[in-house]
Amino acid sequence: MRGQRSLLLGPARLCLRLLLLLGYRRRCPPLLRGLVQRWRYGKVCLRSLLYNSFGGSDTAVDAAFEPVYWLVDNVIRWFGVVFVVLVIVLTGSIVAIAYLCVLPLILRTYSVPRLCWHFFYSHWNLILIVFHYYQAITTPPGYPPQGRNDIATVSICKKCIYPKPARTHHCSICNRCVLKMDHHCHILPPALSKLPTSLCPSFLSSVALALGALTVWHAVLISRGETSIERHINKKERRRLQAKGRVFRNPYNYGCLDNWKVFLGVDTGRHWLTRVLLPSSHLPHGNGMSWEPPPWVTAHSASVMAV
């Protein structure tokens, strides 16, 4: 079958090449030369219409699965409301069970010092959970400002068709670009970025037993100065440079301790008490659009940025 197709297409391609060759010569008939010029013009127009600097296999797959993505995004968008209600109901149920069932047992069996410790710790934990969860679900994750030309950008969003600052990615659930986006969390209505998550570290640490694996995973990412998306990007970049005999270094890794300070918004020593151990609605570190280079970045490479 393939051999018959090649036999049929072979003469046609040969005739087309002869026509193009005659079209280049001045002695060919005007009609033939006009047909060749129109053919070349049409080919240029077709290429210009199909040209896309972001084109590639990934773009083709995204375009093919766009209806599926749309359906999933619209269905998942409502999951956030359901999960928030479930979190509130489950948290309220646990508090009610603790007061109605556990507290009478503790009052009868625990000593006074132990009772005071449990009373202080449980209510401190409850206050942190309620306060930081409320802050997390009511604080916007941070979006790139619109209509400004003085912001350093590294690429153009294929969905928004708008400049993206460094570490900014598009959230298909929110249908907007999010500064330093990590992932879309369904127990928090907005997309979760590392910009506002300093508002809820106590909430995450308080449920570490229930979300142990997730807490450890994000603790590793925070220690490396990466988001979930940047981990995959940096992994590909590390392999690409390794094939060339070069070493990849994350331009946003300030060291383990400094990475945690940036994440928690700790600028001074007393902030560990006022911003981490106590309820705090402080603003996150930085503006989410520009990032200071780490100490290992020299002056001549201070402009290194990761998309």
174 is catalytic: no
pLDDT in tens, 283-301: 777 777 777 777 766 544 5
Identify whether the C-beta of residue 167 lies closer than 8 Å to the C-beta of residue 180.
yes
pLDDT of residue 78: 75
The CA distance from 121 to 134, in Å, is 20
pTM: 0.60
Q: Are residues 100 and 146 both part of a single domain? A: no
**Which residues constitute the domain of residue 157?**
142-190
Identify whether the C-beta of residue 275 lies closer than 8 Å to the C-beta of residue 128.
no
Q: Are residues 99 and 147 both part of a single domain? A: no
Q: Are residues 54 and 112 both part of a single domain? A: yes
Higher pLDDT, 3 or 112: 112
Selected catalytic residue, list 15, 185, 200, 256 = 185
How many C-beta atoms lie closer than 10 Å to residue 20's C-beta? 12
Q: Are residues 75 and 119 both part of a single domain? A: yes
Residue 18 banded pLDDT, cuts 50, 70, 90: low
Domain count, the chain: 2
Q: Are residues 72 and 132 both part of a single domain? A: yes
Higher pLDDT, 104 or 213: 104
User: How large is the average pLDDT for residues 148-171?
Assistant: 81
Residue 33 lies in a domain: no
pLDDT in tens, 32-89: 777 778 888 887 777 776 666 556 666 667 777 777 777 777 777 777 778 888 888 8
* Beta-bridge mates of residue 24: none
Residue 85 lies in a domain: yes
- What distance, in Å, lies between the first and last C-alpha atoms of the chain? 47
Query: CB neighbours of 198 closer than 8 A, spacing ≥ 6?
Result: 263, 264, 265, 275, 282, 284, 285
Residue 266 lies in a domain: no
